[in-house]
């Protein structure tokens, strides 16, 4: 399985301003204060990416109500 990584969705010049997780699709926006420098923007995105709660929802799994009991 490929590891989730961040991919830039929007750029201003050479500076990534919006990134998204390749796994769960969560988007990260670089604050205005960090977009002045490419390195700051990249670091900001990376920090947000590493800090986010990555959870991929699988639609294949059926929702089973385990509390329901058969019979009676
Ligand atoms: Zn994610």
The set of residues, in sequence order, having a beta carbon less than 8 Å from that of 56 and lying 6+ positions away, is 23, 24
Is 70 part of any domain?
no
54 C-alpha to center of ligand 1: Å? 4
Domain that holds residue 45: 6-51
- C-alpha distance from residue 54 to each of 2, 7, 24, 65 (Å): 14, 14, 6, 25
Is 45 part of any domain?
yes
The set of residues, in sequence order, having a beta carbon less than 8 Å from that of 14 and lying 6+ positions away, is 38
CB contact at 8 A, 44 and 33 = no
pLDDT in tens, 3-35: 899 999 999 999 999 999 999 999 999 999 999
If you average pLDDT over residues 39-48, what whole number do you get?
A: 97
In this structure, which residues have their CB less than 5 angstroms from ion ligand 1? 21, 23-24, 26, 54
How many domains does the structure of the chain reveal? 1
16 C-alpha to center of ligand 1: Å? 18
**pTM value?**
0.73
Is 17 part of any domain?
yes
Q: What integer pLDDT is reported at residue 51 of this predicted model?
A: 96
What the block records as the tokens of 28 is 């990260």
Q: What integer pLDDT is reported at residue 68 of this predicted model?
A: 67
Is 71 part of any domain?
no
pLDDT in tens, 52-67: 999 876 666 566 666 7
What the block records as the tokens of 54 is 């990555």
């Amino acid at each position: 399985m490929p590891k989730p990584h961040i991919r830039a969705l929007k750029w201003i010049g050479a500076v990534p301003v919006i990134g998204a997780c390749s796994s769960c699709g969560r988007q990260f926006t670089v604050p205005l204060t960090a977009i002045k420098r490419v390195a700051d923007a990249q670091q900001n995105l990376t920090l947000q990416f590493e800090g986010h709660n990555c959870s991929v929802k699988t639609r294949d799994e059926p929702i089973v109500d385990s509390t329901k009991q058969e019979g009676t």
